[in-house]
């Protein structure tokens, strides 16, 4: 066997796309399937450069529909497999994502959001939140991590494979074009030195023994004949998803204990929100920040407790209210006023959040 | 809170602003500082204004883009128009004297506006290919975020293999760096 791609831990300075490729290598990924689209191309580029050195594989497909389904196929054959995409590519991939939902295929999808709708910009946005969480004809039974730094891109890409295989729900790492293209420092490491054990993978088809006699049959269906049958299947999927949600959900709070004004932001915007809260506190304003790390499942209960005490909530996002929909769904019935700081397809800085809060 | 130095470098595609930015942040990183660099990028394959956003700090850096820069260097007429928005009363705005017809488009709210003859010096005294290295010298001298020695080390790391083949190139690059620094030291 080839030696470990990362020995121990080391500090590096690289782009987010390179980080994802290294994380996948460190996570013992067997194969990546992909189709190029900016701003995530370099995940493929780095992967194809690195993978052969460590006996890993890559398949370039004819489009993102195929990339999604081949990833499903790779997983069914027992491989730790992933794909990466953005924007219109993510749209095409939704059909495979719903099949993964229905058949409980633990694929991992990395999304580096670009501007939308349609081709729009290749730069940056947070406009793929609704799609990554709920896209396709399904119920959004996925796990979605929204990262905010290169360190998190590395940590959560590794984690995504373990969570996907542990719970058998498709798992997404939701980054963005800024995270894809910028360079900053982080530590990359061999997961073993952090006590992270990679969840075992196994084939879903071709198991030994006679189904029904030696073992339970592997029911891998996405087609049903009757309403009643489907109803039962979907209800079971939802129950299972809700059962694991408390174990999976992740969030962070910053100075929310006594906060009168709470900024809710996810992904890279959390950096601006954290800095804004520091600056507002220095100026004597009781501000706090709530950051959902998983967008699906969403830390609804935790946010509700904060919303009960706050005098005002501001939802700040680089989209026209996609995060806000998750927020209002989570805190329905609370009377705290909501303000919107929406900048679809554009970055948000701490300075503008500070000015906005002071201007309220 | 530690001060974060914010720099926007802008020029025509091919003028080398992204390479300069890459070397500068690499140097800061190697010195143990926190650095964040993001190139702007569009759908075009070539041409257009190229902007590099750099931030250097002693602490983890916030948003990758910023509202106002401490230093803006614009190397073409379109770059001037594009980067005016990053200027406020604390910004040093530097542009090349060879840019024509922008007298009325220069920012009026900067702390300092400096015109430097980098292109002319590159052509007449040194070599056109080290134009961007002169700019790097200008940027370092204007902000002092990293030691000139660290930049030389970063240059060595990036271009060392070329320097080996032709040691004159090393002199040329280091001279360009020093000349760039001189240019602003005289003006600041």
What does the CA dihedral A37, A40, A45, A51 come to, rounded to 10 degrees?
A: -120
The residue of A121, A147, A185 whose CB has the most chain B CBs within 10 angstroms, and thus the best one to mutate to test that interface, is A185
Q: How far is B87 from chain A (nearest CA, A)?
A: 14
**CATH number assigned to the domain with residue range A251-358, chosen from the 4 options 3.40.50.920, 3.90.1640.30, 3.40.950.10, 1.10.3720.10:** 3.40.50.920
Number of Cβ within 10 Å of residue A7's Cβ equals 10
Round to whole Å and give the CA distance between A119 and B180.
41
The residue of B38, B56, B85 whose CB has the most chain A CBs within 10 angstroms, and thus the best one to mutate to test that interface, is B38
* Per-residue pLDDT at B188: 76
Determine if the peptide bond prior to A297 is cis (ω within 30°). yes
Round to whole Å and give the CA distance between A174 and A131.
11
B100: pLDDT confidence band, cut at 50, 70 and 90? very high
Which residues of chain B are within 8 Å of residue A352 when distances are taken between CB atoms? 67
Round to whole Å and give the CA distance between B107 and A117.
34
Count of A-B CB contacts under 8 Å: 68
What is the rounded average pLDDT of the residues B71-76? 96
User: When comparing pLDDT for A76 and B40, which is higher?
Assistant: A76
Q: B36–A182: do the CB atoms touch at under 8 Å?
A: yes
Q: How far is B109 from chain A (nearest CA, A)?
A: 19
Domain ranges of chain A: 9-194, 251-358
What is the rounded average pLDDT of the residues A289-297? 98
- pLDDT tens digits along A237-247: 999 999 999 99
- pLDDT tens digits along B22-36: 999 999 999 999 999
Alpha helices in chain B (DSSP H): 17-30, 77-83, 118-124, 131-143, 148-165, 167-187
* Per-residue pLDDT at B1: 38
Q: Is B153 on the interface with A (CB under 8 A)?
A: no
Q: Check pLDDT > 70 for residue A1.
A: no
Tell me, rounded to whole angstroms, the distance of Cα B148 from its chain centroid: 14
Q: Which of residues 34-53 of B touch A (CB under 8 A)?
A: 34-43
- pLDDT tens digits along A266-281: 999 999 999 999 999 9
Q: Check pLDDT > 90 for residue B131.
A: yes
- pLDDT tens digits along A136-187: 999 999 999 999 999 999 999 999 999 999 999 999 999 999 999 999 999 9
* Per-residue pLDDT at A2: 59
Q: What is the CATH number of the domain that holds B103?
A: 3.40.920.10
For the record, the structure tokens of A3 come out as 């030696």
- Domain count across chain B: 1
Query: For residue B80, what are the domain limits?
Result: 5-187
Considering only CB atoms, B61 lies closest to which of A13, A39, A184, namely A184
What is the rounded average pLDDT of the residues A76-99? 98
Its CATH architecture, for the domain A9-194, is 3-Layer(aba) Sandwich (3.40)
What is the rounded average pLDDT of the residues A10-20? 97
Determine what percent of chain A is predicted with pLDDT higher than 70.
99
Determine what percent of chain A is predicted with pLDDT higher than 90.
97
B2: pLDDT confidence band, cut at 50, 70 and 90? low
Three-state secondary structure of chain A: CCCCCCCCEEEEEEEHHHHHHHHHHHCCCCEEEECCCCCCHHHHHHHHHHHHHHCCEEEECCCHHHHHHHHHHHHHCCCCEEEEECHHHHHHHHHHHHHHHHHCCCCEEEEEECCCCCCCCCCCCCCCHHHHHHCCCCCCCCEEEECCCHHHHHHHHHHHHHHHHHHCCCEEEEEEHHHHHCEEEEEEECHHHHCCCCCCCCCCCCCCCCECCCECCCCCCCCCCCHHHHHHHHHHHHHHHHHHHHHHCCEEEECCCCCCEEEECCCCHHHHHHHHHHHHHHCCCCEEEEEECEEECCCHHHHHHHHHHCCEEEEEECCCCHHHHHHHHHCCCCCCCEEEEECCCCCCCHHHHHHHHHCC
Round to whole Å and give the CA distance between A104 and A169.
5
Which residues of chain B are within 8 Å of residue A123 when distances are taken between CB atoms? 40-42
Tracing tokens 């389904």 back to the chain, one arrives at A69
Q: How far is A30 from chain B (nearest CA, A)?
A: 31
Alpha helices in B14-147 (DSSP H): 17-30, 77-83, 118-124, 131-143
B187: pLDDT confidence band, cut at 50, 70 and 90? confident
ipTM score assigned to the predicted complex: 0.91
- pLDDT tens digits along A104-129: 999 999 999 999 999 999 999 999 99
Determine if the peptide bond prior to A117 is cis (ω within 30°). yes
- pLDDT tens digits along A256-266: 999 999 999 99
């Amino acid at each position: 066997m080839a030696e470990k791609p990362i020995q121990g831990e080391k500090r590096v300075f690289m782009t987010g796309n390179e980080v994802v490729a290294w994380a996948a290598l460190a996570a013992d990924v067997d194969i990546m399937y992909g189709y190029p689209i900016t701003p995530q191309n370099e995940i493929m580029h780095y992967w194809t450069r690195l993978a052969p050195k460590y006996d890993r594989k890559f398949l370039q497909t004819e489009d993102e529909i195929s990339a999604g389904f081949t990833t499903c196929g790779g997983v069914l054959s027992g491989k730790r497999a992933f794909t990466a995409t953005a924007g219109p590519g993510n749209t095409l991939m939704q059909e495979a994502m719903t099949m993964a939902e229905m058949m409980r295929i633990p694929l991992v999808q990395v999304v580096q959001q670009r501007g939308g709708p349609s081709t729009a910009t290749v730069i940056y946005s947070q406009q793929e939140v609704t799609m990554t969480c709920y896209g396709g004809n399904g119920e959004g039974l996925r796990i979605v991590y929204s990262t905010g730094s290169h360190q998190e891109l590395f940590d959560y890409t590794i984690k995504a494979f373990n969570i996907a295989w542990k719970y058998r729900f498709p798992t997404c790492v939701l980054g963005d074009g800024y995270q894809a293209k910028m360079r900053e420092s982080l530590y990359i490491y061999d997961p073993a030195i952090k006590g992270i054990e990679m969840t075992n993978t196994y084939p879903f088809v071709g198991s030994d023994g006679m189904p029904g006699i030696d073992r339970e049959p592997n029911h891998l269906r996405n087609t049903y004949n009757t309403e009643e049958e489907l109803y039962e299947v979907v209800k079971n999927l939802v129950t299972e998803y809700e059962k694991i949600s408390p174990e999976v959900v992740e969030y962070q709070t910053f100075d929310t204990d006594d906060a009168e004004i709470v900024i809710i932001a996810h992904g890279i915007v959390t950096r601006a929100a954290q800095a804004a809260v520091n600056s507002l506190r220095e100026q004597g304003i009781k501000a706090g920040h709530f950051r959902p790390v998983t967008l699906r499942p969403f830390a609804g209960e935790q946010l509700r407790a904060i919303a009960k005490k706050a005098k005002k909530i501001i939802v700040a996002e680089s989209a026209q209210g996609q995060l806000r929909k998750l927020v209002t769904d989570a805190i329905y019935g609370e009377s705290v006023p909501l303000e919107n700081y929406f900048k679809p397809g554009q970055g948000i800085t701490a300075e503008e959040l500070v000015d906005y809060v002071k201007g309220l | 809170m530690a001060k974060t130095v914010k720099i926007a470098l802008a020029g025509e595609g091919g003028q080398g602003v992204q390479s300069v930015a890459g070397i500068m942040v690499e140097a800061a990183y190697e010195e143990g500082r926190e650095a964040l660099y993001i190139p702007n990028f569009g759908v075009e394959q070539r041409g257009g204004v190229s902007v590099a956003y750099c931030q250097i700090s002693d602490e983890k850096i916030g948003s990758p883009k910023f509202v106002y820069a401490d230093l803006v260097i614009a190397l073409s007429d379109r770059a001037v128009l594009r980067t005016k928005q990053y200027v406020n009363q604390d910004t040093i705005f530097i542009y090349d004297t060879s840019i024509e017809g922008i007298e009325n488009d220069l920012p009026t709210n900067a702390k300092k506006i400096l015109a430097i003859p980098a292109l002319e010096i590159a052509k007449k005294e040194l070599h056109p290919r080290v134009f961007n290295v002169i700019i790097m010298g200008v940027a370092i001298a204007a902000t002092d975020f990293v030691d000139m020695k660290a930049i030389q080390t970063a240059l060595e790391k990036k271009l060392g293999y070329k320097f080996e083949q032709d040691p004159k190139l090393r002199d040329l690059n280091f001279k360009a760096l020093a000349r760039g620094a001189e240019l602003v030291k005289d003006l600041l």
